[in-house]
Amino acid sequence: MTIQEAQQSVDEWIKSYGVRYFSELTNMVLLMEEVGELSRIMARTYGDQSFKKSDLKVDLADEMADVLWILLCLANQTGVDLTEAFQNNIQKKTLRDNERHKQNPKLQ
């Protein structure tokens, strides 16, 4: 599935099952909530925190998909073509950072 197809799939789902999009502000807050849930899993899986009983049924992939879902909603609501935006972002990073990381001794 391409990014464009993902944006379209979310839009079709919202129109078929979701009644309408939540407001942009609500979705922004929900995005932060989902990023927090993802952060908790990352901190407990790869960091120093231990899992609580309530965390034992977590699914890293599902939490990442929740973040992506809401990001796609926000893109649709604000008229952002994420395919174009991502391509532009890669180009920006390439122009800006094409030597910087290679010269970073911390990465060697």
pLDDT for residue 38 is more than 90: yes
Q: pLDDT band at residue 84, thresholds of 50, 70 and 90? A: very high
Q: Closest Cα partner for 89 from 99, 100, 80?
A: 80
- Residue 25 phi, psi dihedral angles, 5° rounding: -65, -45
Average pLDDT over residues 51-65: 89
| Res 98: pLDDT | 87
Average pLDDT over residues 84-97: 96
Angle of CA points 65, 70, 76, to nearest 5°: 125
CA distance 44 to 93: 30
Q: Which domains does the chain have, with CATH numbers?
A: 3-82 (1.10.287.1080)
